[in-house]
Amino acid sequence: MSSPSLQHLIYLQRFKRAFLMLLLALTGWSAVVMALAVYKGGRTPDNMAWALGTTLEQGFLILVCFAAFTALDHGKLRPIAILGMTAAAFVLAAMPVFAWRNITDGIHLSPFEQMARDRLTKFAVTAFLSAGLLCLIPFILVPRMRRIGRIVQLTTILYLNVAYICTVLYIWDIDTRRIEDALAMMLIPAGACMMGMFVMHKFLSIRQPDPLTSVAPELRVKCPRCQHDQALALGESRCARCRLHISVHVEEPRCPNCQFNLHNLTRPQCPECGFHLDTEEVTSKGIRKVSES
């Protein structure tokens, strides 16, 4: 019988594979619908512009879906990542249908129909921006940073949210002039913060210890044949006295979900992603604390 943590990991891997298959299916769906729409509506400049714009927007959404995909291994970020990926999948499925209507039926429209079409376009753009924002937020929070890096992360999220609100207000024609000025002012620092955050991640992020360098390069071993006590290097070696082949392998415990080093773990939970582990990974000191409490 599988443990709850292992079963949880299996479900997560199944969700990842299913979502990747869904993205592949949605890409094929979009390609077929766009080709049929252009074939039916004709290869006019407006129709080609609609088809190209929809394809580029879908490419951006798929890109941010993969950005949110990287946050699935982090327990605290997983809910918002799944929410953003789900919203993006719905938008990816609906965008080709919306583009089809504009390409094939956008020639002769009454004023009332044109007003309804404009309102529907605003809804579509708002849904597109909302899905993109929900996918970007967990991606920005993936790097584990300290002090200045954490401030940059939170500032980037703040700028993105303010820019999103300004964009939505601009789309819906709410105080257009002031919102347009605010949007121009917010997009520049938001983009600068995102670039700065990734640069700082390279230099200020918390490094995970390498299992090949975080342990001693040699180990005191007593030969099982001649009982000679000696220091042997990790890997393949020979006894200094009887020349017996001895293989010394050391592997530090790692989280099966995110591969975080579990050295000196004091409770059965990964400190990086929150994945629940077996108690055999917990040190005796941590077990003693749990029993005392």
pLDDT digits (tens, 9 = 90+) for 55-67: 888 889 998 898 8
Domain shared by 62 and 184, yes or no: yes
- Residue pair 2/11 in contact (Cβ under 8 Å)? The answer is no
Does the structure show a pLDDT above 80 at 164? yes
d(CA 200, CA 156): 13
For the chain, what is the domain count?
A: 3
Residue 175 pLDDT grade (very low, low, confident, very high; cuts 50, 70, 90): low
- pLDDT tens-digit readout, 63-82: 889 888 888 888 788 899 99
pLDDT at 208: 46
Full residue range of the structural domain in which residue 260 is found: 252-293
pLDDT at 70: 84
Domain shared by 74 and 190, yes or no: yes
Residue 211 pLDDT grade (very low, low, confident, very high; cuts 50, 70, 90): very low
- pLDDT tens-digit readout, 25-48: 999 998 898 888 888 888 888 888
Domain shared by 243 and 262, yes or no: no
d(CA 14, CA 9): 9
Domain shared by 165 and 272, yes or no: no
pTM equals 0.66
Which of 245-275 are b and which e, b meaning 16 or more Cβ less than 10 Å from the residue's Cβ?
ebeeeeeebbbebbebbbeebebbbbebbeb
Does the structure show a pLDDT above 60 at 231? yes
Domain shared by 227 and 188, yes or no: no
pLDDT at 87: 93
Mean pLDDT of 253-257: 78
- pLDDT tens-digit readout, 111-150: 666 777 778 888 888 999 999 999 988 888 887 777 777 7
Domain-located, residue 2: no
Residue 108 pLDDT grade (very low, low, confident, very high; cuts 50, 70, 90): low
Domain shared by 165 and 256, yes or no: no
Does the structure show a pLDDT above 50 at 210? no
- Residue pair 217/233 in contact (Cβ under 8 Å)? The answer is yes
CA atoms within 13 A on the CB side of 264: 3
